[in-house]
Structure 1
Amino acid sequence: MFDMARRTTTRTPDEDFEERIVDIDVATEMRASYLEYAYSVIYQRALPDARDGLKPVQRRILYSMSEMGLRPERGHVKSSRVVGDVMGKLHPHGDGAIYDALVRLAQPFSMRLPLVDGHGNFGSPDDSPAAMRYTEARLAPAAMLMVQSIDEETVDFKPNYDGQETEPSVMPSAFPNLLVNGASGIAVGMATNMAPHNLVEVVAAARHLIKKPDATLEELMRFVPGPDLPTGGIIIGLSGIRDAYETGRGTFRTRAKATIESVTPRRKGIVVTELPFNVGPERVVTKIKELVNAKKLTGIADLKDLTDRHKGLRLVIEVKNGFNPEAVLEELYRLTPMEESFGINNVALVDGRPRTLGLRDLLQVYVEHRIDVVRRRSAFRLRKREERLHLVDGLIIALLNIDQVIQVIRGSDDSAHARTRLMETFELSEVQAAYILDTPLRRLTRYDKLELDREKETLQSEIAELSAILGSEDRLRKVVSAELGEIAKTYGTPRRTVLLESSEAARAVTVPLEVADDPCLVLLSSTGLLARTADATPISAEGERAVHDVLVSVVRSSVRGEVGVVTSKGRLIRVSVVDLPTLPPTANPPSLAGGHPVSEHVALEPEEKVVGLGSLDPDGPGLALGTTGGVVKRVVPEYPANRDDFEVIGLREGDAVIGAVELSSPDHDLVFITSDAQLLRFSASAVRPQGRPAGGMAGVRLNDDAKAIWFGAVDPARESRVVTVAGSSTALPGTQMGAGKVSDYADFPPKGRATGGVRAQRFLKGEDVLLHAWAGPVPAKAASPTGKPVPLPEELGRRDGSGERLVHAVAAIGGGLDGSADARETGQEPDNDHGE
């Protein structure tokens, strides 16, 4: 062992200097110095007192602010003034440590019940506060409970660091601050980390312990099931909390509170409104960006921090289409600070010694402290009231003998002589006699006699009440319990943190990260809405609904596949199926009320409309197109893979596509219906497939001033209907009801391509044009511009007969759709708000 030599010099009469060397063991010296330093850190800086839950610096801040008169009803003062007063009188450390403690006492995200009311920038979980010269502070209402009755000899005082001032060794603490606000600190060889709790729950447990001192931990946990963090969030797993409440040590996991919402019309997102304790949004944002850049986290399209002081925390994480938001959220919990562990280590000072305490011990220490405070307060008040009653008795004697008192005073040489004579004459104590001499004559009136009598009665009543409290332990406990109940009623707030068993969280999400590439149907409605089904089950239009859309087109695809949107200008635009909303599987017939408008997925030119959908499968049968000029074309399914927008037909000037269908069989009929009520059906096999640039071939021969208004495909083997609606060409679009007729498709004979067809409806007076037409499988349905069903004639009319007057205007007609049939909006454009 090395030795350290300490060299000292002393002056003697014989010699100028005498040198003396003292040998000290290094280990002994370091052990003593280190223990002294450790003692100072443990008791004077890092650990809270179990009674009031405050560290010395926090206690000194609250006491100094109370002495400065910085009550909640007063104005704020500069924080630097508070720090200077604390440092100059009580706390022999730097101003930085004092200001840091002051800031924490004012932060609502750090304290469940803040004790300082801060004005200015007191920081956030990510940012530090402004300098003390810029911020202001005063005591919060809850802090008044901490210093309440401190001037009534409720706690002991001790000298400050230089002996010129005194400071309280502990606060009266009218509520269990240590459990409510928690604590954290690192000492030498030990640390404390205590979670905040709900005031109402803690007070309820404390009152139960007051009533039943032998209460078990299980009974107390019925009132305090777990921590209640200032930032809310979700606590996962309660077994660690049970361990902490029993032994003082335990661990639990905290999660952010998040919901799945539609953040844009086309995408889902994760909206985070609460984060784990001591985790700020900037920390989460930074970690997510790092993981996305490192390709360790997929499925996130965008991230926005919309947090503000009015709406609070709001992180919006946009999820890419094709990914399950629930699975992405689980990845965020696993990889980011959106899920954190909190280790409970309940170390606090009890009788000046550090101890690890469970829930029952913490409550017991506080309850004993509070009972002692109320006992000392009651004794102080009893003494003060007895002293006052003694003075009041003396004044009453003086009033009853006022003339004699005045004679005694006038006949005395000085005040001391007068005091002595009063004591002898009226048998008064020295205190009573001195008080009578100090009382102004104006107080010695008949009215003051009445006041003194009332005051005497009040004092006697209060003395009896205080004596009863001090004389009964049960009554003393009831007073403490009642005061705690009033505090909980006044300052209590609802629980913010949700408690979940770990098994419940494990069962919450078991879905894959990416959406499975399952078969589905892509739907296009008459009001211009796109959607997909949950599977490829055929759709039926059976049944009646109050509101429904007529489907214009249905195409089979897969969730992660693509379909083509065909427009009236002969363009085919790729659309990703996964971007489309999924219809509820119970909707039958399907309602596309939750669908996306076509305009959100494709950019249309002026006067361009979407006329149908088509599969992009290169092995499929391809599209069949029909135009207003009577041109028909079957497109060879050879589409460019590197383009999202291309032509599928070369249109002549003034011509437009009116229908696009995907042929499921070359044996199906292709059907044209013209504006002059002519219907032509011919076999699809009569049309030779052509490449994309081709302009098609003659489909139907048109009469003068006529045009094709509907084109589609019909399976001749199925029972099908033809629906036509006739009206006047001079009427404003959407204003006339029209005359409708339903005919049997089998009544129309097949003819050759490029012929004129046969008449589908006979016009009556005032009718000269077909407004709408459609052919397809039964049953036939019609819809108004708002999507409401329009009744059609029930009886089958003659092929060339006239129609019956309809009760509502028709915007679209459709039929029994099984994924292979097709419906088409025809004639006048529907009046809708979806941008088609």
Structure 2
Amino acid sequence: MNPTQNRPAGPVGDEERILDVDVSDEMQGSFLEYAYSVIYSRALPDARDGLKPVQRRILYQMTEMGLRPDRGHVKSARVVGEVMGKLHPHGDTAIYDALVRLAQSFVQRVPLVDGHGNFGSLDDGPAASRYTEARLAAPALALTDGLDEDVVDFVPNYDNQLQQPSVLPAGYPNLLVNGTTGIAVGMATNMAPHNLVEVVAAAVHLLEHPDATVEELMRFVPAPDLPSGGTIVGLDGIKDAYTTGRGSFKTRARVSIGPITARKTGITVTELPYLVGPEKLIEKIKDGVQSKKLSGISDVNDLTDRRNGLKLVIGIKTGFSPEAVLEQLYRYTPLEDGFSINSVALVDGQPRTLGLKELLRVYLDHRLQVVTRRSEYRLARRRERLHLVEGLLVAILDIDEVIQVIRTSDDAEAARTRLEDVFDLSRLQSEYILELRLRRLTKFSRVELEAERDQLLADIAQLEALLASPALLRRSVGDELESMAERFGTPRRTLLTEARPQPAGASRRAAAASLEIADAPCRVLLSTTGRLLRVDLGDEPGVPTPARRSKHDAIRSEIAGTTRGELGAVTDRGRLIRFSPVDLPAAPVHSVQLAAGVKVGDYLTLEKNERVIALVDFLADAPIAAGTAQGIVKRVAPGAWPNRPDFELIALKSGDAVVGVGQGPDTDELVFLTSDAQLLHFPAGSVRPQGVAAGGMAGVKLGANARVLFFGTVDPAASPVVVTVSANDGALPGTDPGRAKVSDFTEFPGKGRATGGVRSHAFLRGEAGLSLAWVGIAARAVGADGSQRILPVGGSRRDASGTPLQGVVHSIGTGIGANAPVADGSPVD
């Protein structure tokens, strides 16, 4: 097409100039100009202050507006308008987005803007600029401090009417501390935030050791420190990023596995990976459950609030391994997320990919130049002031003659000339004296001027020494950086862990199957201090090996079963509660630590002041025997148990309570031990089994004010022992250790049911009765905190009075496993 066709004719006599331009050349040139503008003026940060132009202009304009941390907030729309009208004519949306990002604590490791109002979250955007308010945060002042001292170059704004800084002084390495992200034309940048204290330590080390390697700097900066916390898994990619400027690492949420209700285990999430919001995570979990990628999850609850912060609770279905479910969550949800580092920044106006050492070096060179220019500026100002002060001192020393010279002069010009000639002053000094107010002509003013002169001379000498010594200059920069770390530094939030290799070759179906806990043999332990623990036996038959490294607690009850099977817990109120040990904390068979168990009340639903007495296998063939504090005994025949989660095992009378439960064949002995030291045992076969609704029958005849302290079943062939502990009359509970005695069970002859038994302990004067009694094998006494108490040597006569204890005994049980140490007085190690 002819470019002159359809062109309106110009006025007569006007000369029209038409240039033929190749479209491809025009497009190429325009695109290059656009790409350069985006790279240099919009998308990439300057390596010196770590800011993009819009961020720098926001901070500078807010400084000019006086929006300091000690002033009130102003509308964000006002800040946006000032920045757009004077410095950044690219639209209010871009400016407000940058302002919001500077204020978001979940994006910036050290926020630069103090926002008031809804500045958004990881899942929701901020309110409009007319609804929010802003002012500078204290760390932002460290970036702009010194702008009035000629520390950086100023350049014209877009219309050449105002001046703006080409870079900020940057009192700390903001690019590393807060990171950045940006997409330009043909390149992009993505840098993670770091800990201010660590970055400053590395910068100071590089100042003192310019030849330091990346490995040495990583001793101070081991990895990024993300605002949201979390955990960084593996450091190899981070080392690559610090060396070459490119690398990647994985972040995981900070989680804990534990009971969330009495019968339910869950995964509690308190910190998420960087830039991952809770709503996004919940949505991904729901999608994974619906698509069958995730198994074993019952629900997800968001319990986040302002007081306690982030808290997501992921419920685990019964029978699923929480650890296996957590691995699935890491694989299919943002609970584990990756971060790619691409450290691209502007250096001398050119985009460069920088490693950790290069980033610190560019910043330190900039900071050294800033301190040098600031020192030169301050030196010049102090020299100017010293020149004026010296002139004033000359005038004050001979003030009468100065006044005479001025009064006899025809005009100001003549007075100035005569002052210069008479007192040998410069033009600046003479003008300053002519403008001097009379109230300065006092003796006190002279003292002030002399003090000011001395201070100026000292400052000038210090600044000259600083400018003359590169070592002093570097030390000054290092001191200022350490001051920044003390003022604005915070502890590290992100944990660092080594990467764990993922199993290779496992199919998705096999991974899903491994989520469920296998129905393997186990033993469930109930401690005397009320903790439940599951011991997984695996393929090893028999009883777990005793854990001689465990120095805490003793076993009240121990029952064999399977992981996914059903057991029963009998309480002091005669209630039997069904439960499965599948969700109990598990311990390996060769390292049982009772302290790792869970409190009974946290796993089973108990009523107020209700206690679990024993564990039973109500599906076994052996009857269950229960004894009460009022001397009632009952054996319950196995078989038709009520199909309810809990039911009454024995109907108790008012004021009565179950004190012990046993389970065994008819050949076992049922044993009662009372508070007045009467021991009665008789064959279990002598008690006829009853149904669950029955109330039992008389077991032992009690004396006046006596009650049953112990009831249980023992196998006489297992060589049980009898432990009794007496209490002093009138002593407060838990204060007097008392006297203890350990006797062989064979010392006590058997008698018939409902009789009084035989004496098991001889009381001394002042002793009111027994405080504790126990019959069984491998006796172990513990205090209230579960720590061991030493019992006397066994073999005492059944009617002996015992020996004094060294510490108060809270409860007595058995050791862990069949081969646990017996009550021979030797400590368990």
CA distance 1:580–1:278, change in 2 (3 Å): closer
CA distance 1:547–1:60, change in 2 (3 Å): closer
Partner of 1:452 in structure 2?
A: 449
Partner of 1:334 in structure 2?
A: 331
CA distance 1:420–1:334, change in 2 (3 Å): same
Q: Are 1:484 and 2:481 counterparts?
A: yes
Shift of 1:63: 0.8
Shift of 1:699: 11
Shift of 1:717: 4.9
Q: TM-score, normalized by length of structure 2?
A: 0.77
Q: Deviations over 1:609-664 (max 9, x none)?
A: 9776543547x456578999999767354657x6545688999999999986544x
Q: Are 1:365 and 2:367 counterparts?
A: no
SS in 2 for 1:254: strand
Shift of 1:812: 9.5
- Counterpart Cα distance in 1 of 2:376 and 2:810: 89
Partner of 1:272 in structure 2?
A: 269
Partner of 1:829 in structure 2?
A: none
Shift of 1:56: 0.9
Partner of 2:508 in structure 1?
A: none
Structure 2 residue corresponding to 1:32, chosen from 21, 29, 32: 29
- Counterpart Cα distance in 2 of 1:339 and 1:763: 64
Partner of 1:562 in structure 2?
A: 566
Q: Are 1:138 and 2:138 counterparts?
A: no
CA distance 1:207–1:318, change in 2 (3 Å): same
8 Å contact kept, 2:555–2:816:
no
Q: Are 1:576 and 2:548 counterparts?
A: no
- Counterpart Cα distance in 1 of 2:134 and 2:760: 89
Shift of 1:387: 2.4
Structure 1 residue corresponding to 2:237, chosen from 240, 254, 257: 240
8 Å contact kept, 1:549–1:592:
no
Q: Deviations over 1:470-498 (max 9, x none)?
A: 34444433333333233333333333323
8 Å contact kept, 2:585–2:596:
no
Could you tell me which amino acid in structure 2 is paired with residue 223 of structure 1? F
Partner of 2:86 in structure 1?
A: 89
- Counterpart Cα distance in 2 of 1:783 and 1:427: 98
8 Å contact kept, 1:739–1:803:
no
CA distance 1:264–1:467, change in 2 (3 Å): same
- Residue correspondence of structure 1 range 130-529 to structure 2 within 5 A: 130-261=127-258, 263-264=260-261, 268-300=265-297, 303-320=300-317, 322-502=319-499, 513-523=515-525
Shift of 1:102: 1.6
Could you tell me which amino acid in structure 2 is paired with residue 601 of structure 1? L
Aligned residues, how many?
791
8 Å contact kept, 1:540–1:818:
yes
8 Å contact kept, 1:554–1:819:
no
Partner of 1:834 in structure 2?
A: none
SS in 2 for 1:486: helix
SS in 2 for 1:377: helix
SS in 1 for 2:8: strand
Could you tell me which amino acid in structure 1 is paired with residue 522 of structure 2? C
Could you tell me which amino acid in structure 2 is paired with residue 73 of structure 1? D
- Counterpart Cα distance in 1 of 2:307 and 2:714: 60
- Counterpart Cα distance in 2 of 1:437 and 1:230: 60
CA distance 1:420–1:478, change in 2 (3 Å): same
Root-mean-square deviation (CA), in Å?
5.5
- Residue correspondence of structure 1 range 37-52 to structure 2 within 5 A: 37-52=34-49
Could you tell me which amino acid in structure 2 is paired with residue 575 of structure 1? F
Shift of 1:564: 3.4
Q: Are 1:601 and 2:601 counterparts?
A: no
- Counterpart Cα distance in 2 of 1:653 and 1:459: 94
CA distance 1:817–1:747, change in 2 (3 Å): farther
CA distance 1:155–1:658, change in 2 (3 Å): closer
Partner of 1:11 in structure 2?
A: 10
Shift of 1:188: 1.9
Q: Deviations over 1:769-807 (max 9, x none)?
A: x9999997657899999999998995556xxxx897999
CA distance 1:599–1:349, change in 2 (3 Å): closer
Shift of 1:763: 14
8 Å contact kept, 1:525–1:592:
no
- Counterpart Cα distance in 1 of 2:230 and 2:58: 30
Q: TM-score, normalized by length of structure 1?
A: 0.77
Could you tell me which amino acid in structure 2 is paired with residue 315 of structure 1? L
Partner of 2:617 in structure 1?
A: 615
- Counterpart Cα distance in 1 of 2:720 and 2:309: 60
8 Å contact kept, 2:650–2:694:
yes
Could you tell me which amino acid in structure 1 is paired with residue 347 of structure 2? V
Partner of 1:129 in structure 2?
A: 126
CA distance 1:413–1:313, change in 2 (3 Å): same
CA distance 1:711–1:358, change in 2 (3 Å): closer
CA distance 1:548–1:254, change in 2 (3 Å): closer
Shift of 1:268: 5.0
Could you tell me which amino acid in structure 1 is paired with residue 240 of structure 2? D
Could you tell me which amino acid in structure 1 is paired with residue 62 of structure 2? M
- Counterpart Cα distance in 1 of 2:168 and 2:754: 102
8 Å contact kept, 1:675–1:771:
yes
SS in 1 for 2:522: strand
Q: Higher Cα Rg: structure 1 or 2?
A: 1
- Counterpart Cα distance in 1 of 2:762 and 2:470: 104
Shift of 1:337: 1.8
- Residue correspondence of structure 1 range 535-546 to structure 2 within 5 A: 535=537, 538=543
CA distance 1:817–1:243, change in 2 (3 Å): closer
Shift of 1:813: 8.9
8 Å contact kept, 2:368–2:474:
yes
SS in 2 for 1:9: coil
Could you tell me which amino acid in structure 2 is paired with residue 11 of structure 1? G
8 Å contact kept, 1:72–1:141:
yes
8 Å contact kept, 1:5–1:24:
no
Shift of 1:527: 8.0
- Counterpart Cα distance in 1 of 2:757 and 2:177: 86
- Residue correspondence of structure 1 range 113-128 to structure 2 within 5 A: 113-128=110-125
Shift of 1:446: 4.3
CA distance 1:211–1:666, change in 2 (3 Å): closer
Partner of 1:828 in structure 2?
A: none
Could you tell me which amino acid in structure 2 is paired with residue 560 of structure 1? R
- Counterpart Cα distance in 2 of 1:293 and 1:449: 87
Could you tell me which amino acid in structure 2 is paired with residue 495 of structure 1? R
- Counterpart Cα distance in 1 of 2:697 and 2:459: 111
Partner of 1:827 in structure 2?
A: none
Q: Deviations over 1:514-547 (max 9, x none)?
A: 444332334567887765545475489999x999
Pick which of 88-97 and 375-384 moved more.
Answer: 375-384
Shift of 1:66: 1.1
Shift of 1:258: 2.9
Could you tell me which amino acid in structure 2 is paired with residue 465 of structure 1? Q
CA distance 1:512–1:819, change in 2 (3 Å): farther
- Structure 2, unaligned runs of 5 or more: 504-510, 727-733, 764-768, 820-829
Q: Deviations over 1:368-427 (max 9, x none)?
A: 222222222222222222322333333334334544433443333332343344344444
Q: Deviations over 1:188-237 (max 9, x none)?
A: 22111111222233223333333344443333333322222222222222
Could you tell me which amino acid in structure 2 is paired with residue 559 of structure 1? T
Partner of 1:729 in structure 2?
A: none
SS in 2 for 1:173: coil
Could you tell me which amino acid in structure 2 is paired with residue 63 of structure 1? Y
Q: Deviations over 1:731-751 (max 9, x none)?
A: xxx9xx999997866986899
- Counterpart Cα distance in 1 of 2:300 and 2:118: 26
8 Å contact kept, 1:6–1:23:
no
SS in 1 for 2:402: helix
